[in-house]
Amino acid sequence: MTLRSRLTVLYIVLLVGLQLVLGVTLYQVISATLLKDVDALLESTSRRVLAQINRSGGQAFSPEIFAPLVEELEAEHLNVALQLWGVQENLLWQWPAQIGRPTKPLSRYDLYQQHSRFNTVTLDGERLRVFSLYLRRGNEPFGVLQIGQSLAFLDRLRNAMLRILVVWNLVTTLGVGLLVWTATHRMLEPVEAVTQTALQITRADDLSRRIPRFGLPKHDEIGQLINAFNQTLERLEQLFWVQRRFLEDVSHELRTPLTVIKGNLALLRHVPAQDLESVDSIENEVDRLTRLVGDLLVLSRAESGNLPLTFQSMELDTLVLEVLSDLKMVAGERVQLRLGELDQVVLCADRDRLKQVLVNLVGNAIRYTPEGGSVEVGFGRTETQAYVRVRDTGPGIAPEDLPHIFERFYRAEKARTRSKDGHGFGLGLSIAYWIVHAHEGRIEVDSQPGEGTTFTVWLPLERPDCAT
C-alpha cells in the first residue's frame, strides 16, 4: 500500500471513529433530553390530578370531580392517558386517550410497587412512558395514579436522527476521503518528483537535473527536503566535474614532463658522451613530478579533513618577517618587497602550514607583479580575529575568474594559479584555501584588472587551550 493510500485510510478511520463517538453521544443526549421532557410533562400532569383530588374533599371518585381538569387537558390537546386504580386493582377513573386499551393498566407491574416511579412499557404493541404515583390518605394507601404518553413520536424522531447521522457519516466520509486523496496527491507530488528525478539521474547519469519547488513555502518540510536534495545534487555534480577535470589536468600536467624525460632519454642514446644538460633537465622534470604528487597529496588530505595539523602558540610578526626574508631573493631588484602595517598578534596555528600559505600568497604576488612594481605585506588584529594582508601592483584578476581562483588546476590566464616559469601547477591557492579553512579561518580576495590584487587571510586569535 502506498503512502498516499495509507494516509487516506488513516484519515478516514480517524474521521469515522470521531463521527461514531460524536454521533452516539449526540443520539444519547437528544434521546435523554426528549425523554426527560416527557417525564416532566407526566409529572406536572400528575400534580394537576392530585390538586383536583384534594379539592374534592374526599368525595367518591366520579367523572364530575375531574370534569374541570378534563376540560383543561382537552383544551391543551395533551396526548396522555390517565388512570386511577384502587388498591384492589379496580379502575376508579380514567381519561381515555387514543393509546392502548384503557381497561388495562398502563403498567400492571407498577401497581404493586408501593412507590412512585417512571417506567417504559409496551402496551398492545405500542411503547409508552408511564408515571405511576402511589397515593395515600394519612398512612393508608387508597390507589395508584398512572399517567402515560406514547413514545411513537420519540421513536420516529430517533429513527430520523439515526438515518440523518448515518447518511451524514457516509457523505462526509466519502467527501473527506476524496479530499484527503486529492490533498495527499498534491502534497506528495514533490516526493514523487524527487523519486522520479533520482531514478532518471540513476539511469541517465545526469547530475544537472534539479527538482522544482512547486511553489512550496520556505519552511515547508517537503520544500526543505527538496532544497537538501538539490544541494546534494549540486555538490555531487561539482564533485564529479572536479574529478573529471582533475583527471584531465593531471594527465595534461604529467604528459609534459614525461614527454621531456622521454625526449631527453632518446637524445642520450644518440650522443657518445654524457650530456649533463639533458640529465639536469630530466632531474628538474622529475622534481616537478615529485612536487605535483606532494601537492596533490596535501590537497587531498585537506579537502577530506584529514590534514595533520600541529597547533601551537606563535607570534605572527615573527612568521611574516621570516617569509619576507626567505622571498627577498626571489623579489630581487625587480619587485620592491616591503612591510606594511604591524601589530602584536599571537595565534594558535600550525606554524609550518601557515608559513606554506604565506609563502604561496607572497610568492604569487612577486611572480605576477611586473618589474618596478611592489608587494606589501601587513598584518593586524580585531577583537576576535587576526589578519594578514598581501597587496601587489600586478595586472589584477578578471572578475569572471575571481570565483574560481581557489579551484585546483584553474587555467585562467591571470588567476595567479600557474607560474610562467612552469614551476606551478594551479594547486597553490587551493592548498592555501584548505589550510586556512582547517584553521577555522577564511581567505578574501579583492582585485581590479590593471590595478593589482589584495589577498586577506583571516584567522582566529589564540585560544586558552592551545597546545604549547
Single out the residue of 208, 209, 226, 205 nearest to residue 217, CA to CA.
Answer: 226
End-to-end CA distance of the chain: 62
Residue 430: predicted pLDDT: 86
Residue 339: predicted pLDDT: 93
Q: Are residues 268 and 320 in the same domain?
A: no
Q: Out of 40-44, 103-107, 227-231, 308-312, give the one with best mean pLDDT.
A: 40-44
% pLDDT > 90, the chain? 28
Residue 256 Cα distances to 154, 251, 261, 290, angstroms:
103, 9, 9, 14
Question: Where does a domain end: 252, 272, 303?
Answer: 303
162-182 per-position pLDDT tens digit? 999 899 989 998 998 898 888
Please tell me the least confidently modeled range out of 173-187, 204-218, 352-366, 416-430: 416-430
392-416 per-position pLDDT tens digit? 999 999 898 888 888 877 755 544 4
* Predicted structure pTM score: 0.47
Residues 211-230, mean pLDDT to the nearest whole number: 76
Residue 422: predicted pLDDT: 42
| Position 54 in a domain | yes
Q: Are residues 247 and 150 in the same domain?
A: no
Q: Are residues 348 and 294 in the same domain?
A: no
| Position 203 in a domain | no
| Position 454 in a domain | yes
Beta bridge partners of 129: 120, 149
Of 467 and 330, which is predicted with more confidence?
Answer: 330
| Position 13 in a domain | yes
- pLDDT band of 143, cuts 50, 70, 90: confident
Q: Are residues 9 and 143 in the same domain?
A: yes
| Position 170 in a domain | no
Q: Are residues 299 and 335 in the same domain?
A: no
CATH number at residue 435: 3.30.565.10
Single out the residue of 448, 452, 459 nearest to residue 358, CA to CA.
Answer: 459
Q: How large is the angle between the packed helices 152-204 and 3-55, nearest 10 degrees?
A: 170
Dist. CA 287–CA 420, nearest whole Å: 17
| Position 162 in a domain | no
Q: Are residues 284 and 319 in the same domain?
A: no
Averaged pLDDT score across all residues of the chain: 82
Q: Out of 135-149, 202-216, 433-447, give the one with best mean pLDDT.
A: 433-447
Q: Are residues 335 and 262 in the same domain?
A: no
Structural domain boundaries enclosing 279: 243-303
Q: Are residues 257 and 139 in the same domain?
A: no
Q: Are residues 412 and 442 in the same domain?
A: yes
Residue 300 in this model has a pLDDT that exceeds 70: no
Of 2 and 401, which is predicted with more confidence?
Answer: 401
Residue 450 in this model has a pLDDT that exceeds 70: yes
CATH number at residue 289: 1.10.287.130
Q: Are residues 267 and 350 in the same domain?
A: no
Residues 442-460, mean pLDDT to the nearest whole number: 93
Q: Are residues 268 and 345 in the same domain?
A: no
Dist. CA 168–CA 361, nearest whole Å: 78
Q: How large is the angle between the packed helices 351-368 and 316-331, nearest 10 degrees?
A: 40
Single out the residue of 438, 339, 450, 335 nearest to residue 388, CA to CA.
Answer: 339
In this structure, the chain runs to a length of: 468
Q: Which residues of 161-180 are buried (b: 16+ CB within 10 A; e: fewer)?
A: beeebeeebeeebeebbeeb
Q: Are residues 282 and 323 in the same domain?
A: no
